[in-house]
């Protein structure tokens, strides 16, 4: 069991070639679309959820910040579908890879910061030195604020990776315990299996919440720079 504990986090390959790209491109294919004038209930519910989510994230933004609405909505849909597909047996979750999360976070964070320095450089530089700071503390505060700015994408990527990985590991451990106890004690097996079902429901909620939190934090970074 210990040898296979992290097997589900290894990037899959097909004939020696990495299959992560195909897995990343698969979730958009599951999003239903309609070519008819009148949509069915699934399409209508999907559009309502997208409008509700985009409205909550874009309310605090100005006109320039709202130009990112399509990108942020696409981001939350991609992360949510990827996290949910990763809960299926014998599947691979790309968001458990720190490299992929950094590849999503760094360009979005850098774009928001560059936009802030281009549009309002005085306000952007003012974040490095709060008003009323004593003169002896100015160099230290500038260094601290610079470090805090640079670690924002790392913190965002690590948060998503850690939450998704921890849930998968816990489900793997409880599932292995259920299988091991099935031949020893049936009542204990039923109790552990019930815990596994409840944990699966919790992980479905965590998958959706983490997608929302990730996108919301990117939206907050954008709001601070527009």
Q: What is the pLDDT of residues 67-118, one digit of tens each?
A: 888 888 888 888 888 888 888 877 778 888 888 888 889 998 888 888 888 8
Classified as helix, coil or strand, 17 is: strand
Q: What is the pLDDT of residues 156-204, one digit of tens each?
A: 899 988 888 888 888 888 888 888 887 787 888 888 888 888 988 998 9
Per-residue model confidence (pLDDT) at position 1: 45
Cβ partners under 8 Å of residue 188, min gap 6: 181
Q: Distances from the Cα of 192 to the Cαs of 104, 121, 126, 176, 217, in angstroms?
A: 37, 56, 54, 10, 36
Per-residue model confidence (pLDDT) at position 49: 82
């Amino acid at each position: 069991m210990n040898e296979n504990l992290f097997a589900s986090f290894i990037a899959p390959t097909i004939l020696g070639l990495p299959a992560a790209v195909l897995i990343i491109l698969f979730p958009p294919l599951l999003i239903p679309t309609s070519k008819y004038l009148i949509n069915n209930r699934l399409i209508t519910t999907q559009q309502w959820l997208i409008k509700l989510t985009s409205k909550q994230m874009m309310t605090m933004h100005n006109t320039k910040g709202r130009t990112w609405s399509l990108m942020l909505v696409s981001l939350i849909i991609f992360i949510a579908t990827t996290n949910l597909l990763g809960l299926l047996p014998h599947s691979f979750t790309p968001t458990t890879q720190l490299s992929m999360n950094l590849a999503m976070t760094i360009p979005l964070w850098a774009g928001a910061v560059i936009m802030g320095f281009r549009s309002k450089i005085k306000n952007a530089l003012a974040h490095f030195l709060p008003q009323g700071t004593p003169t002896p503390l100015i160099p230290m505060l500038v260094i601290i604020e610079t470090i805090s700015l640079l670690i924002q994408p790392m913190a965002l990527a690590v948060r998503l990776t850690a939450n998704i990985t921890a849930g998968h590991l816990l489900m793997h451990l409880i599932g292995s315990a259920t299988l091991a106890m099935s031949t020893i004690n049936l009542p204990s097996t039923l109790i552990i299996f019930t815990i596994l079902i409840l944990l699966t429901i919790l992980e479905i909620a965590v998958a959706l919440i983490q997608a929302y939190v990730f996108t919301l934090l990117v939206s907050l970074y954008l709001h601070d720079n527009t």
